Chain A
Amino acid sequence: MTASDTKMTDNRPFAIRAYTPDELRGALKRMYLIRRFEEGAEDSYMRGLIHGTMHLSIGQEASAVATCMELTDDDKITSTHRGHGHCIAKGADVGRMFAEFFGKETGYCHGRGGSMHIADVKTGNLGANGIVGGGLPIAVGAALSAKRLGKSDVTVCFFGDGANNEGAFHESLNMASVWKLPVVFVCENNQYGMSTSIRRSTAVARISDRAAAYSMPGVTVDGNDFSAVAEAVHLANARARAGDGPSLVENLTYRWRGHSKSDRNRYRTKEEIEMWMGQDPITRFRTELIAHGITDEAGADAIEAAAVADMEAGIAFAKASPAPDVSEVTRYVYAEV
């Protein structure tokens, strides 16, 4: 990491300065993988291969991947109901993710969790959460563990704009700050809590303004700009690892799809959606990488094709996987002795 050393003389975007070409191409691959995974999941849902519901993060891929850019498997994340991107960004295998969505025994949660509880504990993903704000105190607890156990790990707590009005948000930020815990609160502000816009639900103009109430740095960045997110989280991680406590990073972004599969999109206009689709974080990052010679059109196409291949292989794995044995419906409720 030489970003801060070179900043004065190097006007290239943070990510280009901070990461190796391999890391950057890997990030583009993960962004494509999230997009193709969610399109594949949506298609599988339409075909009746996936039941229940799901919350797609299409349009928010930069936030997930740039936030997780510097995290290791020892660093933890807590995720949200819109958590597929976080899971992939943290390093999960899409085959096991699809298997979970298909309700298969080979899924990350052995078919017990589905989309809303997708997790991969081995890569530090403590799980998506079906309760808005549910992961916030858990993230603070994970950071407490790191501090008490003398580890330098950080915990990144993803949450949406909707969660910023939950009591759990306020209690969690307060405790993290009082105890100076190594946690980075990352708000993915996609501007709607289901149908209710941030303006109609939230008294402050920017969610990052709330950081001041808990004596921590708060910053709002363009959440569709990979470099902007990566730089903000980089600084927050550094502060956390140095023992200086938590930060709040607000990634301003937009979900292209509805809240869930029941959404009729009656609360926002076609023009608004199209405007944001013109701010596609993947296209922007791809263009940036090509402009800085990290890859070229053919190279980027190959990266995208690799993501498609991974997605298709993942679906094939899920289809071929065994279903759970219905006699094991109570398995995993308690530890097996």
Chain B
Amino acid sequence: MNAVPQDTALRTLSYAEAIREAMAIAMEADPAVILMGEDIGVYGGAFQVTLDLVDRFGPDRVMDTPISELGGAGVAVGAALTGLKPIFEFQFSDFAMLAMEQIVNQAAKLRYMLGGEASVPVVFRLPSGSGTGAAAQHSQSIEAWFGHVPGLKVLQPSTPADAKGMLLAALADPDPVMIFEHKLLYKMKGPVPAGHHLTPIGKAAVRREGSDLTIVAGSIMVHRALEAAGRLATEGISAEVVDLRSIRPIDHETILASVRKTGRLMVVYEGVKAFGVGAEISALVAESDAFDFLDAPILRLGAADAPVPYNPDLERASVPQVDSIESAARRLARREV
């Protein structure tokens, strides 16, 4: 885990509580910070992340929007352009597709199109991932799409501490930041530093040291990879687990250093395997000096080439699980791929 400053108290909070704490700290410190989204007020958000913030900060700063994702995101972009710091919650990351125009054509490009004369310090929060039985339009992992867009920063916290630290770092960042939160992690508890805790944007974290292979994973896949690594350790296979944390910018150095050390690379992610985060990481290794350290082909483990299915067995089978990560890692370690 990350080093935590000595004077910062650690409490145990859930991932959702950590996000809420970050929002409250930011809103206390800066009246320009506002929350926008569908049903984030008295309802508390579809996943209860904003919970009671409307009681503390009032409906002018915790704004329920109409069901207008394109317009709502665009209002957040315009507000960010003119002095506010909006945190815009998409109820499900899938709904961001309704707002692609404002995210990709406007927020991401405005600074560049205007030659650096404007900033869009907006934060988009996007509950994502499968495992809730909500099927094809409420379960996707589309973070890689935004990794393709210059001008955006794209983050994926895997721990409560990072969920808080990334949100506060995103608010301090003058550029648009998209934070993909995993719905299955909202109730996960972990140590969270008090106060204005920042997770550096663009830095991966080595969550488990190892020597036989590197597993690069993001979001909930970090936990599955860690569990798989624990099982593999009992049979003498030492897996290093790198938490990607940031898709854009991506931390080349941490990934390449790990590959140089272990000589084997597996990338595990919940998005569809093709054209995903794994392709980018594989390519950056293949294009670097770390390629010479590889002792086996690179392995990608991503979602099936299908929409996320409803049936629970199908749903589990459609994305990497601990068992599939474990067996793939074992094959990679034994060079059976």
Query: Which residues of A are interface residues toward B (Cβ below 8 A)?
Result: 76, 78, 107-113, 117, 119, 121-122, 126-127, 129-131, 134, 136-146, 148-149, 167-168, 170-172, 174-175, 178-179, 330-336
Contact = CB atoms under 8 A, between A and B. Distances in A.
A30 B75 CA distance: 31
Contacts of B116: 110, 331-332, 335-336
Q: Which 4 residue pairs spanning A and B have beta carbons closest together?
A: A141-B78, A137-B74, A171-B71, A110-B115
29 contacts: A76-B82, A108-B114, A108-B115, A108-B117, A110-B116, A112-B114, A113-B115, A119-B117, A122-B117, A127-B114, A134-B106, A136-B71, A137-B78, A138-B77, A138-B81, A139-B78, A141-B79, A142-B79, A144-B75, A145-B83, A148-B34, A168-B71, A168-B74, A168-B101, A171-B72, A175-B66, A332-B115, A332-B116, A334-B111
A119 B74 contact: no
A131 B113 CA distance: 13
Contact of B118 (A78, A119, A139, A140): A119
Main secondary structure of the interface of B (DSSP, over half): mixed
Nearest to A127: B114
Nearest to B176: A334
Nearest to B173: A335
Given A113-B114, A148-B79, 9 more contacts: A109-B115, A109-B117, A112-B114, A121-B117, A148-B60, A149-B32, A171-B68, A335-B173, A335-B175
Contact of B84 (A113, A137, A145): A145
B112 interface: yes
A84 B177 CA distance: 31
Interface range, B side: 35 or more
Nearest to A138: B78
Given A137-B73, A137-B74, A171 B81 contact: no
A121 B114 contact: yes
A134 B101 contact: yes
B66 A140 contact: no
B119 to A, nearest CB: 6
A171 B70 contact: yes
B105 A131 contact: yes
Contacts of A330: 150
A109 B118 CA distance: 10
Contacts of B105: 130-131, 134
Contact of A141 (B74, B151, B153): B74
B62 interface: no
Given A141-B77, A145-B83, A107 B115 contact: yes
A107 to B, nearest CB: 7
B80 A141 contact: yes
A146 B82 contact: yes
Contacts of A333: 111-112, 150-151
A146 B110 CA distance: 20
B77 A335 contact: no
Contacts of B153: 334
B111 A335 contact: yes
A112 B106 CA distance: 14
Nearest to B63: A179
Contacts of A129: 106
Nearest to B249: A334
A131 B101 contact: yes
B76 interface: yes
Contacts of A127: 110, 113-114, 118
B171 to A, nearest CB: 14
Contacts of B77: 137-138, 141
Nearest to B69: A171
A278 B106 CA distance: 38
* Most A CB within 10 A of own CB, among B70, B75, B77: B75
Contacts of B34: 148
Given A137-B102, A148-B34, A112 B151 contact: no
B238 interface: no
B159 interface: no
